[in-house]
Amino acid sequence: MGVQKENSMIKQKQMLAEHFMALSQVRETGKKVVYTFVPGNLTELIRAFDMLPVYPEINALQSGMRQRSRAYIREAEEMGYSEDVCSYVKCDIGMMLQGNIGPTGRQLPPPDLLLLSYTGCFVFMKWFENLKHLYPEAEIAMLHVPYQEAGRIDPAAVRYIENQLRTEVIPKLEKVSGNTFDRDKLAAAMDLSAQAEDLLLKVFDSARHKPSPIDAYFGGVYYVGPIFTAFRGTPECVEYYTELVREVDLRIKSRMGPITPDGELSPERYRLVIEGPPNWTHFRNFWKIFYDLGAVFVASSYTRVGGVYDDGFRHSAEDPLGSMAEYCLGCYTNLSLPQRVDLLENFITRYQADGFLVNSIKSCNSFSAGQLVMMRELEDRLEIPVGFIETDLVDPRYYSYSNIKNRLDSFFQMLEQRKSMNHRQVQPV
């Protein structure tokens, strides 16, 4: 049985189909194509030049969900890529070597511009070096984003990024597209982005309710799709989140839990917060482990990888380039470890989570570095059960159901013991 489709999911599927159709028709339409990344992406700016974005890591995760990543990874490793290299990179390179057939089965066009927005992941730079070898005719632009080393956004860093946008990125977009930068067009997109960001935060905040009407991890990867990829800054994006909020509000009123591939999760037994991306090659199987036990994720760090809006940040029509710079600086992978711990602590307390889980990704240093320290810090601060499992992004060789299940069994035993102890403490004498 497939995942139950609500109107918002149908809307998202239509949006994606139209986007990939537009990509397949660029020879006829003359539109230019920009390859870029999700964290710190400049989607509104790309669209302001009437260009179409492509996200290599999204293509990789979609390949993983469709069971195609194994062959692509093998192709890259036969070329000499190490087993330790990010599996997104190997999957993406392998896909391009085998014809660059995208998630919809249509061939993706080659990039006219490789736009690297370096936001917290050093691998991105090496990834685009390799893409430049595959597409030597493509122009290339780099936007360097400094880490939030001091635990805050430095005004000097904002100015540094703004200057790069003006002197490096926008001139390349003008050159490749043949269009002149239109500040008013970008400002209008920023206003739409802010509307969508308000709506998305309403969806995430609905997890305060009991039962939670959403799963903010497995369901959350669908929720963030439009805003983190090709549609932020468009009317269609606002329409999608308006419909999603309506559906979530209906579930709240009906005291319904989140929708899983096997129907509504009921009853809700455990409320969890999770750090790290999901495994994509066994996504359904991975999710089922949790909903079979009545576990719902009320917050996740992964759903902030393309932007953190919990602290009040919104894209601004009054200051388009400045707010774009702040957005890049504030993505989750660009936060320091103390900032990440503070954000996760806020999630655990705000959404009244029973426990905290880390899914450590073998080939993703951007997430996995420091996770054990973060886990122990949260355990000490909040005195809650914590758990640790290991998978990978899109390499099926590193998904071991038995190992994951054994570790999770121990974790859920701790959760159940804590619940039983708390229940005894509130019984009348």
User: Mind listing the pLDDT tens digit for each residue in 70-123?
Assistant: 999 999 999 898 888 899 999 999 999 999 988 778 899 999 999 998 777 878
Neighbouring-strand partners of residue 355: 272
Residue 1 has pLDDT above 50, yes or no: no
151: pLDDT strictly greater than 90:
no
What pTM was computed for the model? 0.94
Kindly tell me if the per-residue pLDDT of 171 is higher than 80. yes
> How many Å apart are CA 49 and CA 33, to the nearest integer?
11
- Here the tokens at position 27 are 């020879």
- How far is it, in rounded angstroms, from Cα 429 to Cα 181? 72
Residue 32: closest CA among 99, 112, 91, 97: 112
Does 3.40.50.11890 match the CATH number of domain 7-169? yes
pLDDT at 224: 97
* Whole-number pLDDT of residue 4: 57
* 33-35 and 270-275 beta bridge pairing: unpaired
pLDDT tens readout for residues 331-376: 999 999 999 999 999 999 999 999 999 999 988 888 888 999 999 9
**pLDDT at 123 (0 to 100):** 84
Of 429 and 334, more confident: 334
Report how far residue 75's alpha carbon sits from residue 306's, in angstroms, rounded to the nearest whole number.
29
DSSP for 387-401 reads EEEEE-SS-GGG--H
Comparing CA positions, the residue from 179, 88, 177 lying closest to residue 141 is: 177
Q: Check residue 296 and give its pLDDT.
A: 98
Structure confidence at residue 424 as a pLDDT band (50, 70, 90) = low
Sheet hosting strand 355-361, strand order edge to edge: 295-300, 270-275, 355-361, 386-391
Distance CA 429, CA 426 (A): 9
Computed over every residue of the chain, the mean pLDDT equals: 93
Residues 6+ apart with CB under 8 A from 206: 212, 213, 214, 248, 249, 252
Can you tell me the mean pLDDT for 223-228?
A: 96
Quick one: pLDDT band at residue 203, thresholds 50, 70, 90?
very high
CA 298 from chain center: how many Å? Answer: 16
The residue behind tokens 């597409």 is 135
29-38, 167-176, 416-425: which range is least confident on average? Answer: 416-425
Q: Tell me the CB-side half-sphere exposure of residue 82, using CA atoms within 13 A.
A: 5
Q: Residue 429: pLDDT above 50?
A: no
Provide the residue type at 58 as one letter. Answer: I
Reported as a pLDDT band with limits 50, 70 and 90, residue 382 is very high
What's the pLDDT at 367?
Answer: 87
The pair of three-digit structure tokens given for residue 216, joined into one six-digit string = 């903010």
Q: What is the pLDDT of residue 423?
A: 59
Q: Is the pLDDT of residue 3 over 70?
A: no
The mean-pLDDT minimum among 50-64, 103-117, 166-180 falls in 103-117
Beta strands in 317-397 (DSSP E): 355-361, 386-391
What is the structure's pLDDT at 334? 92
Q: Where are the domains of the chain?
A: 7-169
Q: Coil, helix or strand for 229?
A: coil
Residues 108/23, Cβ–Cβ less than 8 Å: yes
Residue 425: pLDDT band (50, 70, 90) is low
* Residue 2: pLDDT over 90: no
pLDDT in tens, 288-322: 999 999 999 999 999 999 999 998 999 999 999 99
